[in-house]
Every structure is written in C-alpha cells, then in structure tokens.
Amino acid sequence: MHTYLALGDSYTIGEQVSAPDNFPHQAVRMLREKGTQVTDPVIIATTGWTTDELATSIREHNITDTFSFVSLLIGVNNQYRGRSIDNYRDEFTQLLHQAIHFAGGRPQRVFVLSIPDWGVTPFAADRDRSAIATEIDAYNAACREIALANECHYIEITESTRQHGADPTYLVDDKLHPSGREYAIWAQRLVEQVHEQLSKK
C-alpha cells in the first residue's frame, strides 16, 4: 500500500472546498482508479503559511515515517507578503531537502507544483495584476530551478490558474481560491507523474 504526504498552504488544504475536493484527495482517487493502492493523504498545510511557517509545523509534527511520494506547493504567501526571492530560495531549498527525506531519500518521488497566480482572480481587482504576475514568475523560476537541481519533479499549474482565474466555476466563494474543478486539473497532472514513478521497480 502506497502512502502520500502533501505539504503546502491553502492550495493544498483546499480553502473553502470539502476535503475530498482538494487536489491531494482527488489525486489519490485517480490513482486508485488506475489500480494503484494508496492510503488517504497525510496533509500538513494551512491557509496563509509561508515557507518558514510550513517548516515550523513540520518540526512540530515530528514525522518519523517515510512516504511513497511527497508533494510540495509553497510560496504564494511569501510573494503576497513581499518577501525576497533570496529568502524563498533558502527556505524552499530546506523544505525540499526535507521532502526528499520524507520520501525515503528518493528525489524522484518528490513532486513540486508551481505557484498559482492569484493576481488574475476577482479578489485582486484593485491590485497591480502585472506586478503580481511578474513576481509569481520569478518565484516559479526559482522553484523550478531548485526542484530540478535536486532531481525532483516540477509540475506546471500556473498557466491553468491564469486561464481559469476569472471563471467563477473554477473559484470558491472568496473569489480567490480554486474550486474542486481547478484542483482536478492539478491532480491529473500530478497523477500522471506519480503513476509513472510508482510503476517503476
């Protein structure tokens, strides 16, 4: 039986969606439909967390288990709070190394998702959308570089959020966070990569 640890923030816990609709739970269902036996995901994520806050919670959970695969999606709140890319690089690198450890030292079992662009949503109507997009792109460039340098997978979901960010069916009531419909897209992309890795001996 495979196991799954999901690390992140509001986009992982699924702000304002029921647990079955967040992307980790949808991914598990999709894997089961493919005949891959996976337990329910262990999720360490809370709305609003930055990289350092996620790191603190991981320490508090004192995880001793290893997992078949691990996902990591973090950084939007660093950008929202105006933190530097250098700070993100340092703290994200530490989190990624921890994720690799949780995956039993197998970087190929760690899946990093890109940071969504919240600037396209109705919530950001009075913000500088162009500046947000530029900053998100810079964060994702760092995220991708670090993930690939550590031989982990990088899964691009930002463009999907830009395509659907103004469509109310892809958002929850706060007009900021994704609905289960958007999370299904992320889950499908994750599952494609995870299934391939889990199929390898």
DSSP state of 47: T
Q: What is the pLDDT of residues 120-173, one digit of tens each?
A: 999 999 999 999 999 999 999 999 999 999 999 999 999 999 999 999 999 999
4-199: what CATH class? alpha beta
Residue 78: CA count within 13 A, CB half-sphere: 28
Contact 136, 115 (CB under 8 A): yes
Q: What is the pLDDT of residues 71-108, one digit of tens each?
A: 999 999 999 999 999 999 999 999 999 999 999 999 99
> pTM for this one?
0.96
Any idea where the domains of the chain sit in the sequence?
Answer: 4-199
Q: For the chain, give me the number of helices (H) and strands (E)? A: 8, 5
Paired with 4 in beta bridges are 69
CA 19, CA 196: separation in Å to the nearest integer?
A: 25
